[in-house]
Amino acid sequence: MDSVVKAWFRRLRPRALWRSTRSITPEEVRRTERWLATARVFLAMSALIAIWVDPGEVRSVWVYALLTFYISQGTAIIFLLRSRQQSTPSFRMLVHAADIIWPAVICLMTTSQSNSFFLFFLFVLAAAAYRWGVWETVMTSILAISLLWLESLALHLGAIHPINVWLTHHRLPLVNADVLEFEPKRLFMRSVYLAVMGLLLGYLAEQQKKLRAEKDEAARMLGMVNMEAGLAGTLSDIVGEILRLYRAPRALIASREGGTGRMSVGVVHLKRDFPVLNWLEPGAAGAGIYLGNTTVTSCYAQSGTGTGGQEFSSLGLDADGTLKESVDNSFLRHFAEVHAFHRLLAISFSLGPELSGRIFILEPELISSTAEELRFLEDLVKQIGPAVYNLYLLRRLRKRAGALERARLGRELHDGAVQSLIGVEMQVDVLRRSHSIAQPVGDELERIQMLLREEVAKLRELMQQVKSVDIDGHKLPGFLRDTVQRFQRETGISASLLMDDEEILLPQPVCRELARITQEALVNVRKHSGAKQVVVHLLHSQGNWELIVEDDGSGFPFDGRVSQSELDLSSRAPAVIRERVRLIQGELTIESKPGRGARVEVRVGQPQPVSHG
């Protein structure tokens, strides 16, 4: 029961002020007050002109004095706002209170509240709506109505008579209030007018501020699209802002590339009000869990327990913007099996044929009605989507440009430096073999020849490293096979590849790092081991994948089997391999037998679906 009451109280809060996380600046407040002060002076001067044209509306000459005072008050407020740096809340409340009292006082001295002076009541309502929102405007109308009824009571009790006696004693004009104008029947209708007008003006102002707040949010999120932050950083910032708006603990982003079908899933949560993005492995069933087919483009769902197990109540919008009372529960059930939730907002997006996906906001606090929030989020995605899509295309363009540049550099090295070095090495070999040269000179030429061969090998390794490596589980076996064959061909060291299973179920980043670790390990074998034979294994055992590179060379300068923690403390393993293993959260073990060889083992766990809840 308490949660229901709290939810209703949250809905009574002004939506525009809650939704807009940007606070109103003092300069904006000052401008608002200056505009209201100018309108106040203009309204009073218009009233003076009106009673000059039709003096019959005035019952007492005190009206002229009050209007003059009102004009002076508005002028003074304008000058105060120009001279002061800020407008305090107490100052605004004092001015607003005077605006409420003013029309109630001046209506005592006019013929009817239906004349031009009734505009002062509308002005104070408009000022409340302009300053604040719907509930403040309604409260202002209630206060104005209360003052009118208090005046009616005072007139019927004869409270105006002592005032006229005092004015007569001092030879001042009388008030001349008409009790008939404050009869309950007439006053009731005027009260209804004021209440309806207050509610109407407040509602219109609230909707206008809501639209402005939504535009501000969209503009702020568009400003978060930053090439330097990258696509992942931009998405985490935007989703983090949505989490702040809805006070949600976390959100998920699921996307799929149209060309390759590659799927990515990331979870965003706020850590000290800073968005943190962690990537998850979607698994084989990821497409059905996160991007399952449904008839709506966005939906809000609540989960509960019923007689048949977990049940969902949902509301969604289809592609035409039509409200749907129910959403396909199978889609929600598949998602809830992995990420348990009580409340869920899901918004689909499609950024051209290349990229589509869905955003899930878990446990949001809705600000207004469900339909309004769904439409707001869809409009937000439509406004921000093109900018994010441009960032995605620019990222792909840069990636392709980098790959082309690396390929060009590899060709230049192969056709230029490598061929030149091979030519020089061949000439040195011919010179050494075809001429009778003294032993020291022959040894020096042989040493130069070996140096040239070493430099050629290093350049070829560099060419392999600068190549763009885009490897997934399907491409990894072929890449490892080509790498091992090339190593044997270029070094003369016997090399072989042994694999248990051709189908490797590992994420693309892990496959890429395993390929680089293999290349680095073979480079170390060539440079330091003096081995005659090397074997590369890729095995699947007990839910783990193991990459093993073993040789029969000189081994490492220690004897025994050393774990990764010991290697980190002693720095006895190649730093590049240790860092790459750390990136994929694997386990590195090195076994060394000096003079008899070494064995490098990298163990990576098989990723499992991650459950949050």
* Domain match, 189 and 253 both: no
Q: Is the pLDDT of residue 328 over 90?
A: no
Rounded to the nearest angstrom, the gap between the alpha carbon of residue 517 and the centroid of all alpha carbons in its chain is 35
Which among 340, 364, 396 is the end of a domain? 396
DSSP per-residue string spanning 429-463: HHHHHHS---HHHHHHHHHHHHHHHHHHHHHHHHH
Claim: this prediction has a pTM higher than 0.85: no
Tell me, what's the pLDDT at 363?
A: 92
With a pLDDT cut of 90, the percent of the chain lying above it is 3
SS3 of residue 311 by DSSP: strand
* Domain match, 63 and 202 both: yes
* Domain match, 522 and 583 both: yes
Instruction: Provide the Cα torsion 206, 211, 212, 218; round to 10°.
Output: 150
> Considering the domain boundaries, does residue 235 fall inside one?
yes
> Considering the domain boundaries, does residue 457 fall inside one?
no
Instruction: Provide the Cα torsion 135, 141, 146, 147; round to 10°.
Output: 130
* H or E segment to which residue 406 belongs: helix 370-412
* Domain match, 286 and 143 both: no
Which among 181, 196, 220 is the end of a domain? 220
386-395 confidence digits (pLDDT tens): 888 777 777 7
* Domain match, 216 and 98 both: yes
For helices 119-131 and 134-156, the axis angle rounded to 10 degrees is 150
Q: What is the DSSP letter of 118?
A: G
> Considering the domain boundaries, does residue 570 fall inside one?
yes
Tell me, what's the pLDDT at 461?
A: 57
- For residues 104 and 123, the answer to whether their CB atoms sit within 8 Å is no
Number of structural domains in the chain: 3
Name which of 377, 389, 308 is nearest 346 in CA terms. Answer: 377
Output the domain CATH number for residue 237.
3.30.450
* Domain match, 140 and 276 both: no
With bands split at pLDDT 50, 70 and 90, how would you rate the model's confidence at 44? confident
229-277 confidence digits (pLDDT tens): 777 788 888 888 889 888 899 999 988 887 667 788 889 988 888 888 8
> Considering the domain boundaries, does residue 459 fall inside one?
no
What's the rounded mean pLDDT across residues 605-611?
52
Rg (alpha carbons) of the chain, rounded to whole number: 40
* Domain match, 125 and 246 both: no
* Domain match, 606 and 520 both: yes
**Cα distance between residue 368 and residue 376, in whole Å:** 10
- For residues 600 and 586, the answer to whether their CB atoms sit within 8 Å is no
333-342 confidence digits (pLDDT tens): 888 888 889 9
**Cα distance between residue 262 and residue 258, in whole Å:** 8
Q: Is the pLDDT of residue 5 over 60?
A: no
- For residues 286 and 265, the answer to whether their CB atoms sit within 8 Å is yes
Tell me, what's the pLDDT at 612?
A: 34
75-104 confidence digits (pLDDT tens): 888 888 777 767 788 888 888 888 888 888
Tell me, what's the pLDDT at 360?
A: 93
Tell me, what's the pLDDT at 445?
A: 66
* Domain match, 179 and 266 both: no
Tell me, what's the pLDDT at 606?
A: 67
> Considering the domain boundaries, does residue 265 fall inside one?
yes
> Considering the domain boundaries, does residue 525 fall inside one?
yes
Q: What is the DSSP letter of 308?
A: T
Name which of 522, 534, 478 is nearest 504 in CA terms. Answer: 478
- Does 452 or 39 have the greater pLDDT score? 39
> Considering the domain boundaries, does residue 186 fall inside one?
yes
- Does 331 or 416 have the greater pLDDT score? 331
Q: Is the pLDDT of residue 12 over 50?
A: no
Task: Determine phi and psi for 262, rounding to 5 degrees.
Answer: -70, 135
What's the rounded mean pLDDT across residues 163-170?
75
With bands split at pLDDT 50, 70 and 90, how would you rate the model's confidence at 361? very high
Which residue range is the domain that position 290 belongs to?
226-396
DSSP per-residue string spanning 178-241: -GGGG-HHHHHHHHHHHHHHHHHHHHHHHHHHHHHHHHHHHHHHHHT--TTTHHHHHHHHHHHH
List C-alpha distances in Å: 598 to 216, 350, 471, 489, 569: 62, 51, 27, 22, 20
336 CB neighbour count, 10 Å cutoff: 19
SS3 of residue 586 by DSSP: coil
Instruction: Provide the Cα torsion 506, 509, 515, 517; round to 10°.
Output: -110
SS3 of residue 274 by DSSP: strand
Q: Is the pLDDT of residue 362 over 90?
A: yes
Tell me, what's the pLDDT at 493?
A: 85
587 CB neighbour count, 10 Å cutoff: 15
- Does 534 or 411 have the greater pLDDT score? 534
- Does 448 or 147 have the greater pLDDT score? 147
* Domain match, 215 and 231 both: no
> Considering the domain boundaries, does residue 444 fall inside one?
no
**Cα distance between residue 371 and residue 369, in whole Å:** 6
Output the domain CATH number for residue 518.
3.30.565.10
Tell me, what's the pLDDT at 435?
A: 62
With bands split at pLDDT 50, 70 and 90, how would you rate the model's confidence at 143? very high
With bands split at pLDDT 50, 70 and 90, how would you rate the model's confidence at 8? very low
* Domain match, 208 and 91 both: yes
Which among 175, 201, 220 is the end of a domain? 220
* Domain match, 247 and 214 both: no
Tell me, what's the pLDDT at 6?
A: 46
- Does 122 or 158 have the greater pLDDT score? 122
Name which of 350, 339, 195 is nearest 267 in CA terms. Answer: 339
**Cα distance between residue 326 and residue 301, in whole Å:** 9
